[in-house]
Amino acid sequence: MRKTALLLLLSTCGSLAFAQQSQKVRGKVLDADNKPVAGATVNIKGSANGTKTDADGSFTLDVAKGKTLKITYVGMKEQEILVNDASTYSIVLQSGTELDEVVVIGYGTVKKSDLTGAVASVTGKDLQSNLAKSAAGALQGRVAGVSVSNAGGSPGAGMNINIRGIGSMGSTNPLYVIDGVFGDINTVDPNDIASLEVLKDASAAAIYGSRAANGVVIITTKGGKRSSPATLSLNAYTGVQSLPKKMKLMDGPQWKQFMRDQKELPPQAESFNANTNWQDEVFETAPVNKVNLDIAGGGERSTYSISGGYLKQKGILKSTGYESFNVRSKNTFNFFNDHLRLGNTFLIKSGDRKYANLVITDILRQNPLLPIYDDKVVGGYSTYAPWMKNLDNPVGNLNLYNNHVYQTDIMLNGYAEVDLFVKGLKYKLNVGINRTNGRNYNKADRRPDGTAQLQSYLNESAFFNNQWLIENTLHYDNTFDKHTISLLAGYSSQENSNRGFGAKRLDIPPGTDAIDAASPAEQSTSGSLQEAAMISQFGRAMYSYDNRYLFTATIRRDGSSKFGNGHRYGVFPSVALGWNVMNEGFFEKAKNTVNEFKIRATYGRLGNQEIANYTTQNITTYGINYIQGGAWWQGAIPGNSWVSPSNLTWEETETSNVGVDLAFLQSKLRISADYYVRNTKDILLSINQPPSAGKSGAPVMNAGTISNKGFEFLASYRDAIGEVNYNIGVNASAVKNKMKAITVGNTQEFGGYNPQGEGTVTWAKVGYPIGGFWLIQTDGLFQSDAEVQAYKSTNGTVIQPTAKAGDIKFVDHNGDGKIDNNDRQYMGSPFPSLAYGIRGGVDYKGVDFGFFFDGMYGNKIYNYTRARMETTGDINNYSIDLLNSWTATNTNTEIPRYTRTDPNSNGRRVSDRWLESGAFFRLKTMELGYTLPNAWLNKVTLKNARIYLAADNLFTVTKYKGYSPDLGPANNDNGVGQTGVMTAGADHGRYPLARTVMFGVQANF
Amino acid sequence: MTMMKISIKKYTAAAAVLLLMGSCSKDFLNRINPNKPVAEIFWSNEGEVQSAMATVYSPIRGQMYGYYGAYTGYQTMNRADDVWFLIGEERHTWEYVTFLNTAGTAESDFGSLYNGINRANVLLYNIGKVPMDENKKKELIAEASFLRGVYYFLLATNYGDVPLLLIPADVDPENKPSTPEADIWKQVITDFKAAKENLPVTRPAAEAGRVTKGAAIALLGKALVYTKQYGEAETELKALLTAPYNYDLVENFEDNFKDNTKLNKESVWELVYDGKYGSDGIWGSEGPNSRQGFIIPNFAGPAGTGAWFKLVPGISVVRDFIAEERPAGSDTRFDKRMYTSFYWKYSDYETGLTDGAWYGNLSFDKLWTESLAKISVNPGLVYPTVNGKEGRFLIKKYTNFFRNVSGGNSMYDAANTNNNFRLLRFAEVLLLHAEACAKNGNTAGAAASLKRVRDRAGLANKTWANADELMKEIIHQNELEFFFEGHRFFDLKRWYTYQDMKQIFVNNKKQGAENFQPKHYYLPIPESEINTNTKIQQNPLWR
């Protein structure tokens, strides 16, 4: 079929470009008012040859027939002219609009006016990427429908990027394509980003088929320009980070008095007189420094861009930090009159992330009466007294453990693109290789745990991830009269392998730092290999008629090694329609008011296969050991672990999207809006099986359907008053997430976050948002024992018989006359009903000012951190709010009575006592810059230079009582323990986000 | 021009072939797990059956999780009045011991018991096809049957009606409803009888710790007593009192709880632990590097000994110990077993004994002072006075009293985790035998076995008028002999009606006694099973 189609194409366009002779071409470039345009650039498309128009707009150039001239001028629409037999040309340039910007889509680019899908495009400048510490951080709040949130704020930790709601119970990470290679956004220095495109709907992302269900982020790094001299750019900043907010805790004397008043002060505590403020001891103001240098330029046949960056960041939690450097080189080469184009991007990033496993809530709960140091204790830091809760000494923890991840990422991309013998037809070979090698390093000194001593250890593990990708694509682009077509067909294969091994020995002698230093008496080893492969075929046809009617159809077929034979392939089609209403004849009159008006509608299906490898293969389980005859008895048995069903197959996401793009007031005001419905069926999920089957683990199954419906809105306005230029942009998005159906198992729900096994707080239940909070509702405090007795069910039983005055009244939701977990009800979700960003900028002469606010509304946070500070069972420090505990004389309070036995379970986790509003409004970034006048610069041969003062996370308006309301799914740092989509909005004690103030310089030489 | 067209055709054809290449790349996508051998190649020789056998033992010996695991099962099974669980410690334990547990209470060991059953079923299902010595095969079948019997025994006593699975879940993946408790017991007895036939009387040194014929008979006897088949029970248990079995009580009661007197003549079955195996942490029970250490001391030890100190003796067991003093002229005032069961300051209540010192020569006063903060918040936890002096007692049994090192109960030092758990001591065989005899009217047989237990405790000779009197003494001796060994709840359940049992708990000031209801005879089928098994129904008492 394809062959026939291609031959058909060939026969329709017989004329071949190579065979033509040069001829002299004259032309004149005029604007819409018929005035000559001086200084316009006239280039022969696909070559470095060109000229500029003179004062009366004229130019002369030697051009072969059949070539295309490209005429560009700042502020005007670019125009192309096909050189035919005529020798003079008159070219009229229309005043330019943003619609002529080129947007990067999968395997190609498209003019914005021809775009049919929901694609958000931001430039490096818009991202304020000069300020960002990470590319993901730069993206936060910038794009409607793209939520970037913190897994934990520790330096070098990744962030969660989520496009258009939670569409999967597994991985919700989008696919990242960096200069044509599937990669990781964290390997890209934000300063290297030229543009970043987010493909949000199925039509836009469909060319990536599988892996694209969570959206695609395409990152294009900066490149050089042809025929331009080398430019050296420098961007450097230095800053300080600080903890924006502290939890209010009791100090030593307050705690002692409080416990004495409660008659709960252990007698031994009397002799403890330290007053340690543990928050002050572990958090510090920490420096951050970043330098980027890049050199870019180009000759007639080549361009180059080489950049290097260095980041050194200390964490606000002492002893943590991140240091990395990266080097990137991007080059293009052209041969045979531009008919052969070669290019490459090489990128290397090497980082050292030092993190702490200090449990954040331990800082808050550790007793202020405990001194920091004790030279009688091994390690030199004091340890909890037997009467205290067994919590680590936070300072000791930071100093006695040493945890690093050393990681080097290498990404190599090379491509060759050749024009074939038909005009507009080209073939491209794209090869990408990613390598991530690294080492985890975990060391602990000999240290105390109360009266016990813990053994020192050194645990190291190395990992080697290799990925390669080969893509062959054929492209055909041409315009016939009013018909513009663009065709793409491609084939790709890729393989990914992760190998790792590790070793650990205990009792590593002091002063040594290698595993060999310790005796092998107590050691453990590990190792694994994961391989995955994928083969894909894909094609796309884009057609537009008269710039009015746009049509795109895409299909991709992917085969994945993760599924069993016969179930490996998924086919993912999409179609999109666009209508440039403003180009219609009937719209002519309105065009002065409404400068642009486009309607888009798309539909498509995408796949997701992000599950572990080999889940359908039946294996023998090893390492279930016992002891016989005093020796280790190694156990192994098949049939012990669940195996996924052999017909396990792709998770499919179906998205329908309608959108409109509008521009008013000479295109100064632009508005875009999109509405989408996104249904994911056959979600891949591990499904718990009956424990009575006696097998371990949970098989991954195609388990149910998730629905996301959302609305996105984007508006921007830019104008000038005299010499003051200003712009403002707003993006907002709303998404409703729902578990629609569960197709396996016995119940219509899956449990999620369960803090310390104390009760499952988040659930995915049919009809409700994934990760919604299900809690027992509280209804104030009982003010008297009589009130307790009067609180009865319909059949007259006292609902909370063990309660006393000052205890919490819980709502008996199911009306069964008692309070238990069956009284849980839906109390809200961690996802906002509205997420927004507001961006603005002003510049006047050399001074520029930019700001960016982001915020969320309607989201809830489960504040487990507070739960730990206010729970009264243990002898540890408490929130200062407990000084306001209910007593017979202090009844006007929300804090229940202090009771260690807590017969009423005031401290129960499954209670909305710990649920708070997570709404916030935050000044995410602010930047004040000054561009030095040219007069100064000429003396030091600087082309331009700018200095700036900037701040990140400067202030947050929120009612949330924890450190930060910006809480995506948790990572595993700081003892959080649980991860995954169901931990979003669960504040188990995350590393607090820092406030950063920085000063920087940008200069071009 | 024609030439050109042909070459273009070639190019295009080549490109088309390239595009269609996916269809012939089946092998490229076929990835076999390189980490674990596929199941199909297992079951080829005896060595593989032996390694499968280790996995059948594993769930029961899990050091933290599992039926005898320190964090889950061991705390749950000690939910009777002989042990108090301190307030503010593990929430799930607190719910179990105060009878506030629900089907949702965390850390039920229901699933881990079935892990053992499934593995036994896998082994029994596949062993037939393994080429090996037939006698050895019979012995291994007996061993797997024994362990399956144990798992069903524990399910029956704890949960009552439960699903009965006798072939692997792989072969029969259907969900199963519960089978009546009586039928579970029948299976238990069948399995133990099968085990008894082919298990060896003794094990060679290289297999020390694996179950023997004696263990099978003892558990068969126990199952028969639990199901009130006393006649058969007496016969079975009596066999263990004579050759070829040479079980006997160790002279020193303490030797049952020390790491250098493991696998002694009183041991009918021990769970074996050794901290030197595995070094990758204690919490994960079944990882290839998981440390196979004994962790109970870390939970039971007093404050200041490297332990978390979560448990103390119940009030009534102290009362019942001090109720019968040893005859005048004995070397100690109290029952010898009391000195192994509790820490206390001897000089408070008697003369002639040197006060103990442990964990780096800490005195009892020191241990008590450190522990007091946690004890004092427990309302009602007041021990009987002795000679008008305040009663002060802490759990000693299954702590590392024999290691006089600072922090000696801490699980973080592997050297502190080398004790074995004495799952079935000969003392239990004697008391079960006495119980069966008493129920059968064989008062002489009952008295003889009872006397051996009392003699070892240093108690005076005693005679009993009738079977009822004997039974009272048997109940009393069980309480003292097996304090904090997880027996008491199941003993009371076997001997008393719900009303009587509740009254005992109330009288004995057991924490949460007032919450005790008939349903607490059993644990509920956990939510994780109810939510996933389409066929099962909750235990009727728990509906």
**Local confidence band at A48 (pLDDT 50, 70, 90 cut-offs):** low
B contacts of A693 (beta carbons < 8 Å)? 114, 118, 165, 169, 173, 175
To the nearest whole percent, how much of chain A has pLDDT over 90?
A: 52
Within B98-133, where are the H helices?
Answer: 110-126
Average pLDDT over residues A459-468: 96
Q: Using the predicted structure, report yes or no on whether residue A742 has a pLDDT greater than 90.
A: no
Helix axes B110-126, B46-61, angle to 10 degrees: 170
Which position has the higher pLDDT, A841 or A781? Answer: A781
B contacts of A264 (beta carbons < 8 Å)? 377
Kindly state the helix (H) or strand (E) to which residue B232 belongs, with its residue range.
helix B230-239
Return the closest-CA partner of residue A440 out of A464, A461, A458.
Answer: A461
Return the closest-CA partner of residue A981 out of A830, A861, A757.
Answer: A830
Cis, peptide link before residue B244, omega less than 30° from 0: yes
Kindly report, residue by residue over B169-190, the tens digit of the pLDDT. 889 988 999 999 999 999 999 9
Q: Identify the bridge partners of residue B421 per DSSP, sorted by sequence position.
A: B271
- Please provide the average confidence, as pLDDT, over all residues in chain B: 92
Is A451–B305 a contact, with Cβ atoms under 8 angstroms apart?
yes
- Please provide the average confidence, as pLDDT, over all residues in chain A: 87
How many beta carbons lie within 10 A of that of residue B415, not counting itself?
15
Nearest Cβ partner for B407 among A451, A491, A691? A451
Are A731 and A143 in contact by the 8 Å Cβ rule? The answer is yes
SS3 state of residue A426: strand
Is B304–A451 a contact, with Cβ atoms under 8 angstroms apart?
yes
Model pLDDT, residue A153: 63
Residue A587: CA count within 13 A, CB half-sphere: 14
Q: Using the predicted structure, report yes or no on whether residue A119 has a pLDDT greater than 90.
A: no
Average pLDDT over residues A327-347: 93
Q: Using the predicted structure, report yes or no on whether residue A971 has a pLDDT greater than 90.
A: no
To the nearest whole percent, how much of chain A has pLDDT over 70?
A: 94
Q: How far is CA B529 from the centre of its chain?
A: 22
Kindly report, residue by residue over A486-529, the tens digit of the pLDDT. 999 999 999 999 999 999 999 999 999 999 999 988 888 899 99
Return the closest-CA partner of residue A546 out of A594, A576, A596, A582.
Answer: A582
Model pLDDT, residue A117: 80
Model pLDDT, residue A76: 67
Is B407–A634 a contact, with Cβ atoms under 8 angstroms apart?
no
C-alpha span between A762 and A740 (Å, rounded): 16
C-alpha span between B105 and B93 (Å, rounded): 9
Is B207–A629 a contact, with Cβ atoms under 8 angstroms apart?
yes
To the nearest whole percent, how much of chain B has pLDDT over 90?
A: 79
Kindly report, residue by residue over A305-317, the tens digit of the pLDDT. 999 999 999 999 9
C-alpha span between B532 and A596 (Å, rounded): 56
Q: Does B283 touch chain A (CB under 8 A)?
A: no
Closest CA of chain B from A652, distance in Å: 20
Contacts of A86 (CB under 8 A, 6+ apart): none
Best to test chain B binding among A256, A391, A626 (most B CBs inside 10 Å): A626
Dihedral sign from CA coordinates of B235, B241, B245, B251: positive
Q: Using the predicted structure, report yes or no on whether residue B79 has a pLDDT greater than 90.
A: yes
Most confident of A55-59, A435-439, A992-996: A435-439
Kindly report, residue by residue over A163-199, the tens digit of the pLDDT. 876 767 677 788 888 888 888 887 888 888 888 888 8
Distances from the Cα of A17 to the Cα of A67, A265, A337, A359, angstroms: 7, 92, 11, 68
Phi, psi of A679 (to 5 degrees): -115, 125
Least confident of A419-428, A844-853, B373-382: B373-382
Model pLDDT, residue A626: 95
Model pLDDT, residue B5: 46
Return the closest-CA partner of residue A320 out of A282, A277, A359.
Answer: A282
How many beta carbons lie within 10 A of that of residue B243, not counting itself?
7
A contacts of B28 (beta carbons < 8 Å)? 493, 495, 533, 535, 561
Q: Identify the bridge partners of residue A727 per DSSP, sorted by sequence position.
A: A718, A841
In b/e form, how buried is each residue of B170-188, taking b as 16+ CB within 10 angstroms?
beeeebbebbebeebbbbb
A contacts of B368 (beta carbons < 8 Å)? none
C-alpha span between A424 and A538 (Å, rounded): 19
Model pLDDT, residue A95: 60
Return the closest-CA partner of residue B320 out of B465, B98, B482.
Answer: B482
The amino acid occupying position A713 is F
Model pLDDT, residue A152: 60
Q: What's the complex ipTM? A: 0.93
Q: Could you give the angle at the alpha carbon of B256 between the alpha carbons of B254 and B262, nearest 5°?
A: 125
Nearest Cβ partner for B165 among A16, A632, A692? A692
Q: Using the predicted structure, report yes or no on whether residue A2 has a pLDDT greater than 70.
A: no
Average pLDDT over residues A408-429: 93
Average pLDDT over residues A51-63: 81
Average pLDDT over residues B208-223: 98
Average pLDDT over residues A720-728: 89
C-alpha span between A277 and A265 (Å, rounded): 20
Kindly report, residue by residue over B80-112, the tens digit of the pLDDT. 999 999 987 777 898 899 998 888 888 889 999
- The torsion angle over the Cα atoms of residues A794, A799, A805 and A810, rounded to 10 degrees, is -100
Structure tokens at B25: 């790349």
**Local confidence band at A367 (pLDDT 50, 70, 90 cut-offs):** very high
How many beta carbons lie within 10 A of that of residue A300, not counting itself?
10
Helix axes B134-159, B213-226, angle to 10 degrees: 30
B contacts of A703 (beta carbons < 8 Å)? none
Kindly report, residue by residue over A599-622, the tens digit of the pLDDT. 999 999 988 888 889 999 988 999
Q: Using the predicted structure, report yes or no on whether residue B457 has a pLDDT greater than 60.
A: yes
Structure tokens at A172: 């919700």
Kindly report, residue by residue over A870-926, the tens digit of the pLDDT. 998 888 999 999 999 999 999 999 999 999 878 898 999 999 999 999 999 999 889
Q: Using the predicted structure, report yes or no on whether residue A682 has a pLDDT greater than 70.
A: yes
C-alpha span between B240 and B221 (Å, rounded): 10
Is B306–A875 a contact, with Cβ atoms under 8 angstroms apart?
no
Least confident of A108-117, A512-521, A848-857: A108-117
The amino acid occupying position A68 is T
Average pLDDT over residues B478-504: 97
SS3 state of residue A940: coil
Which DSSP letter does residue A188 get? S
Q: Using the predicted structure, report yes or no on whether residue A633 has a pLDDT greater than 70.
A: yes
The amino acid occupying position A748 is Q
Q: Using the predicted structure, report yes or no on whether residue B6 has a pLDDT greater than 70.
A: no
Model pLDDT, residue B270: 97
Which DSSP letter does residue B508 get? T
Model pLDDT, residue B133: 96
- The torsion angle over the Cα atoms of residues A110, A111, A114 and A119, rounded to 10 degrees, is 70
SS3 state of residue B349: helix
C-alpha span between A405 and A383 (Å, rounded): 28
Residue of A nearest to B50 (CA): A635
How many beta carbons lie within 10 A of that of residue A88, not counting itself?
11
B 293-332 residues inside an 8 A Cβ radius of A: 303-306, 308-309
Kindly report, residue by residue over B240-288, the tens digit of the pLDDT. 999 999 999 999 999 999 999 999 999 999 999 998 888 777 887 788 8
Best to test chain B binding among A627, A685, A746, A908 (most B CBs inside 10 Å): A627
pTM of the model: 0.84
Q: Using the predicted structure, report yes or no on whether residue A16 has a pLDDT greater than 60.
A: no
